[in-house]
Structure 1
């Protein structure tokens, strides 16, 4: 049985770990990645499409498979402004989801964020929550939303706040009432995503904090 996975954000912390998990998984025979630049790896199961995300709506023919894993994300500092960050964290991902559902992809897996809320005062958490809302209106057979807390791992770009948090949070998270908020590695999230994509049959499921450590 052939099964194809598509990844958005394959160069990011979770996406790169997920790519490795999928390539090593017997459940998938083909892995398609859509990136701005060529990936530094090659594999018999891997097809890497280099695209201009500003023209993503014209790339519908690339969204043919069984599962779409959406791992895109950036920071306001990297993007340059909230509006530019929203283009990556909301617009690109929603366009991709629309293309996927129109091509018959049945399962959508989204890396969101702990605290995502369409009514949040935080622009970041608000756009994450709004994306979740819009995705749930699309006609996927299954939608799986992952809401990790602080993500640990080797990133392409250094983030001062996350570095500080990666030192402090693991310590304070030992307190019983904060343990469920402890940081998680990109690899742990990727493993959970792979497992859910092969085993979970629930139409709409959320995986929040503690759920990701299972």
Structure 2
């Protein structure tokens, strides 16, 4: 039996890769991508709804399927402020998860971050950790939380820190104790998400650092 995927964050590094994999997967017959702007991708499986994320609750009917892939994410620089970043990285994703859970969607797959912690001094890692905690009580049959380290790959926006990190970290992480922190491509995370959406049986499971490479 084939599945229906609901995807938010389809234009990001991981989301873009995941969209392609879902469209070419024989296990998914329909992919619903909810975006702020019309996608340029065209495919018989793809249903692209352009929505206003500030009015997410108006689109509850669209969060129906078998798996919700939540790949939204931004930086403080791109968003313009910490509050604006939190709106994308926490508010939008939590509301989307609530809407999906209310529609009895079974499996929720969230891209979080390595080091996510609701009590972290880092505001970024704190909001990621808070989101993880908030979605756990929602009524999903299965929840998968992915915590990749530095993501590398082609982005529409140039990010100086990530570009430098993608050069230095592979060298530093050759040390045995740091091997699990090596950068990972968006394609690799997307591949793992697709596999997990088909294989996971546990009610809740984290996929952290080096586990994403297997």
TM bracket, shorter-chain basis: over 0.9
Cα shift at 1:21 = 0.7
3-state DSSP class of the match of 1:156? coil
Matches within 5 A, 1:150-189: 150-189=150-189
3-state DSSP class of the match of 1:21? helix
Match for residue 21 of structure 1?
A: 21
Structure 1, unmatched stretches of 5+, are none
* 1:104-157 deviation per Cα after TM superposition (whole angstroms, max 9, x unaligned): 100000000000000000000000000000000101000000000000100110
Match for residue 194 of structure 2?
A: 194
Residues of 2 paired with 1:206 and 1:17: CA distance? 21
Structure 2, unmatched stretches of 5+, are none
Alignment RMSD: 0.5
Match for residue 7 of structure 2?
A: 7
Q: After the TM superposition, list the runs of 4 or more consecutive aligned residues in structure 1 that deviate by more than 4 angstroms.
A: none
Cα shift at 1:31 = 0.3
What TM-score results when the alignment is normalised by the length of structure 1? 0.99
Cα shift at 1:40 = 1.2
Residues of 1 paired with 2:125 and 2:167: CA distance? 23
Match for residue 139 of structure 1?
A: 139
Residues of 2 paired with 1:90 and 1:66: CA distance? 22
Match for residue 99 of structure 1?
A: 99
Residues of 1 paired with 2:200 and 2:32: CA distance? 21
Cα shift at 1:2 = 3.4
How many aligned residue pairs are there? 214
Residues of 2 paired with 1:12 and 1:66: CA distance? 22
Contact 2:2-2:26 at 8 Å conserved across structures: no
Q: Give the stretch that moved more between structures: 65-74 or 167-176.
A: 167-176
